[in-house]
Amino acid sequence: MLIDPKKTKVGFVGTGVMGRSMAGHILDAGYKLFVYTRTKSKAQDLLDKGAVFLPIDELAKTCDVIITIVGFPKDVEEVYLSENGLIRNAKENSILIDMTTSPPSLAVKIGEEVKKKGIFFLDAPVSGGDIGAKNAALSIMVGGEEEIYNSVLPLFNLMGKNVVYQGKTGSGQHTKMCNQIVIATGMIGVAESLYYAIKSGLDPETVLKSIGGGAAGSWSLVNLGPKMLKGDFAPGFYVKHFIKDMKIALDETVRMGIKLPGLELALSLYEELSKMGHENSGTQAIFKLYTK
């Protein structure tokens, strides 16, 4: 399929914290954009700019390429596998792209189902949070047929700066698990480092200037460390979604027969944070475990 802004109709399902910005980049590039979200008001800014709202089954019948980024695996199953879902209603030869983080096994299941309908599927989870989405600087990890990946690469390039083809269906989701494992354990290090700085009498913002540019530097430290210090726990990525991701990764470790004790510790701390009432806070709210 040739991706042409003048001809290709793009559907976008899910216009939350990240999806709204991602869809906006596609709309700004000149594509005819059709959107669906359970809460229509979340898509209002896109509709004001020219996007068209459609029920999900009508969107599936209309669009050539459909991108989804929803909350949880159960939402992915509903969007793709239900009676009114995408697979049952999609046009022949259309391309479905799930950018939600969900189990690799679910991506494989969807991939098998689409083959029966003469359509195509890519699993393409992302990393970079709301900042990466707004700046079209996401890291996008893609699994599926390489030919299909190449055909929609122009769309990926509108949303991300680091777009990498990983292999067969499910490979994108496995790569995202690798990403989340690094972040999970790293976020504990960021929070503990800044807490240590405060308790030792240092100016933590000055400490950040030193360690953010050295061997300890990371995206989480540089971008979320200052938010921790300011008490800014607004979600770029929700705690509840991070917990979901860590559980998916740990489920996969059971299948592989391996142990990841650092990830298990991170999950237990984030579950404690959630019990404190912070499931809808950003992941940087882990700092509150130390300062409560």
Residue 76 to residue 82: CA distance in whole angstroms: 10
Q: Looking at 32, 134, 176, 244, which residue is catalytic?
A: 176
Q: H or E element: which one contains 63?
A: none
Rounded Cα distance between 135 and 24, Å, is 11
Beta pairing, strands 95-98 & 138-143: unpaired
Q: Is 6 a catalytic residue?
A: no
Strand partners, 12: 35, 67
Dist. CA 38–CA 55, nearest whole Å: 9
| Cross-strand partners of 121 | 96
Instruction: Annotate 113-122 with b (16+ C-beta within 10 A) or e (fewer).
Output: bbeebebbbb
Both tokens of 149, joined, read: 């990946």
Q: Which residues are catalytic?
A: 176
